Amino acid sequence: MLTGQMIGNLGRDPEMKYFESGAAVAKCSIAVETGYDRDSRQKITEWVKLEFWGKQAETIANYCRKGSKIMVAGELSIERWNSLVGAGESSDGMPFA
């Protein structure tokens, strides 16, 4: 299990969705500064997808907006797949229940 903590700014307002069962999910992404590039001396920013469920989803949707600085801690989930041209692709994210 890969766990971690991140502090970053929301890249957009959380997208809230309710299922027929009543379950709530909010999806958003944060920009996390991971350091500086030695050659260009520019900040390196990584984007991480976040998924909140239940009460956490409602709280995030009600109180956070694009640009809000938040701290999250949880398990990192990495999706892997092959693109249409056969290249390996991946995407990381953190789901919260």
Reported confidence tier of residue 86, pLDDT bands at 50, 70, 90: low
Tell me how far the alpha carbon of residue 54 is from its chain's centroid.
Answer: 16
Q: What are the residues whose beta carbons fall under 8 Å from the beta carbon of 76, sequence distance 6 or more?
A: 2, 3, 4, 92, 93, 94
pLDDT band at 84 (very low <50, low <70, confident <90, very high): confident
Sketch the domain layout of the chain as residue ranges: 3-96
Contact 65, 78 (CB under 8 A): no
Q: What is the pLDDT of residues 9-24, one digit of tens each?
A: 999 999 999 999 999 9
Q: How confident is the model at residue 27 (pLDDT cuts 50, 70, 90)?
A: very high
pLDDT digits (tens, 9 = 90+) for 35-76: 888 898 899 998 988 999 999 999 999 999 999 999 998 887
Residue of higher predicted confidence among 4 and 24? 24
pLDDT at 88 over 70: no
User: How distant, in Å, are the alpha carbons of 37, 67, 86 from that of 95?
Assistant: 29, 20, 27
pTM, two decimals, is: 0.75
- Classified as helix, coil or strand, 39 is coil
**What CATH homologous superfamily does 3-96 map to?**
Nucleic acid-binding proteins (2.40.50.140)
